Structure 1
Amino acid sequence: MGPRLNIFQGLQLTFSRPASSALPASTRCFSTTFPSSNWLIPKHREKRKSQKGRPRMPTGGSSRGTTVIWGDYGLRMRDHDRRVSAEQLRIGFETIQKRLRGMKYKFYPRVAANIGVYTSGNEQRMGKGKGKFDYWAARVAVSRIIFELKGDLHEKVAREAFRLAAAKMPGLYEFVKKGDPPMVGLTKLQNGVTLESLKKARREVPLNSETKSSPSTPEGSTPAQ
């Protein structure tokens, strides 16, 4: 046993971590950048099934989201509100990419597909709440900006790219530029039309509306007794 123990006398086992001086001084153990986000797929799945719902209606006169903010040109929905799936938005984005291939531009999506759509299969009993997840979608209100473009682009080129993208997506769209007036519902705030004028009563009620005149009887007729 003696000679065998002499073999391990020179070994020294250390269980401590390596010194931090082995790493360069500029290396950090955490990231200071934001994770890459996807506007077509949310980062986290829904904890509860989302209801079918309806897009936001600006009943109070809000014009938020109806003007171009980040880019120079935009695509705005103009017929009525609807639910647009993530696949339809992706096809519209890829159509713009193909048309503007080789050009320098920036693309800004103004909507995000963060609403889960659940559908039930065939031969299901009546009732709600039994559907399984099908796809992601976005609720787009009327007069809402969907896409924006910015860069060294001619107006005709951007208009053509948006026209091709609108043909691939459901609904009717219009081309807008930066500086165009905002909209409240389907009404543009221009040519003297203001938010205060829209909130006013369309018909003024007279002050003597309480006193009503009795209906007159036609000639040759006797009043009913």
Structure 2
Amino acid sequence: MPGAALLRQAFQRLSITTSSSIASVASVSSVSASSSSSSSAVASARTFSTRPAMASALIRPAALAHTPSTITSSSSSFSPLFLPRAFSATAAAQGTWLEPSLNRRKRMMKGRPRVATGGSVKGTTVVWGDYGLRMHDHHRRITAKQLKVAEDTIKQRLRGQKYRLYKRVNCNIGVFYSGNEMRMGKGKGSFDHWAARVAVNRIIFELRGAIHEQVVRDAFRLAGNKLPGQYEFVKKGDAPVVGITKLEDGITLDDLKRARKPVAEVAAAAAVEQQVSNNASTSAPPS
């Protein structure tokens, strides 16, 4: 390996420097004890140079204990080579809009899509694109397979065009089936597929690009035929929807929140009518 070869060359240079410095110390010294110690240091240095490069991390501290401080300072540049890796090459698990990264064994309730009737218009208008596909009949639970077929239909119709498709729904609901001809009880069943709860007047797809409007209309028409329910083509800037009422033709959110007939006026009118009827019955002559 190239890394192992570089390490081997570095340690060979280190062993040569160690042996030369120890030899100079031995030549200056005239004491036999010092010469014997220098010879042992040279032997240890030779032993260090002949060891394999992969085992040098364990041998290096013991070898440097007999060397001068200059050798230790020069070899400090090799210390980062033995540090552990500070990152991981494992890719993080991320889900998609058709299959989230959720536990399939966790049972989920069927539930119903939340229809915003208190004045919220979230998710009913085109945000990022120029055109959109919006459901307009009632809420449904759409499976991931149906949404995938609709997406493939749009891509097939717009093949060769320059555009970007946005998905506004997320399949985060697990559907569990217990199978046919099964006895009552025995739990909820096993996982079958992923689905998405789509409320009424919710935008499902958005599209932006250099495409003619009629081409986009045709693509969304084909996609709507693949999905359950009824859908309509909307453009950016169209009126939002509250519940099933569009905020257009002068209708505002305050008009929807206001009562159709004030309660006080209705009660006063009913009291007047009751009084008039009582007066008429008492003033009429007996027959």
**Number of equivalent positions:** 207
Q: Which residue of 2 aligns with 1:55?
A: 113
Q: 1:59 to 1:34 in 2, by over 3 A?
A: farther
Name the counterpart of 1:123: 181
Instruction: Give the CA deviation at 1:190.
Output: 1.1
Is residue 257 of structure 2 the alignment partner of residue 199 of structure 1? yes
Alpha-carbon distance change, 116 to 11 in structure 1, aligned in 2, over 3 angstroms: same
| CA displacement, residues 190-213 of structure 1 (integer Å, 9 cap, x when unaligned) | 111011001111123325267444
Tell me, in whole angstroms, the C-alpha distance in 2 between the residues paired with 1:72 and 1:204.
Answer: 41
Query: Which residue in the other structure is 1:15 paired with?
Result: 57
Give the gaps of 5 or more residues in structure 2: 1-45, 59-77
Question: 1:185 deviation in Å?
Answer: 1.4
Match for residue 166 of structure 1 among 221, 224, 245: 224
Alpha-carbon distance, 1:45 to partner: 2.0
What's the Cα RMSD here? 3.1
> Between the two proteins, what is the percent identity of the paired residues?
52
Query: For residue 58 of structure 1, what is the amino acid of its counterpart?
Result: A
Deviation at 1:160, TM superposition (A): 0.5
Q: Distance in 2 between matches of 1:74 and 1:34?
A: 32
1:84 maps to what in 2? 142
Larger CA Rg, structure 1 vs 2 = 2
The alignment partner of 1:208 has SS state of helix
CA displacement, residues 63-85 of structure 1 (integer Å, 9 cap, x when unaligned): 10000001110000000000000
Taking the aligned partners of 2:164 and 2:97, their CA distance within structure 1 comes to 15
Q: How does 1:132-147 map to 2 (within 5 A)?
A: 132-147=190-205
- Native 8 Å contact 2:164 2:208 kept in 1: yes
Q: Looking at secondary structure, tell me which structure has more strand per residue.
A: 1
Structure with greater helix share of residues: 2
Alpha-carbon distance in 2 for matches of 1:194, 1:71: 25
2:133–2:205: 8 Å Cα contact kept in structure 1? yes
C-alpha deviation, 1:29, in angstroms: 3.1
The answer as to whether partners of 2:107 and 2:188 remain within 8 angstroms in 1 is no
Structure of higher RCO (CA pairs closer than 8 Å, 6+ residues apart)? 1
- Quote the offset at 1:129 in angstroms: 3.8
TM-score, with normalisation over the residues of structure 2?
0.64
Greater Cα offset, 186-195 or 202-211: 202-211
SS in 2 for 1:87: helix
Closer, same or farther: CA 136–168 of 1 in aligned 2, 3 Å: same
The match for 1:5 is none
| TM-aligned CA deviation for residue 117 of structure 1 | 0.5
Of the candidates 203, 206, 225, which is equivalent to residue 148 of structure 1? 206
Distance, in Å, in 1 between the alignment partners of 2:93 and 2:109 is 29
Look up the match of 2:61.
none
Q: Partner of 2:239 in structure 1? A: 181
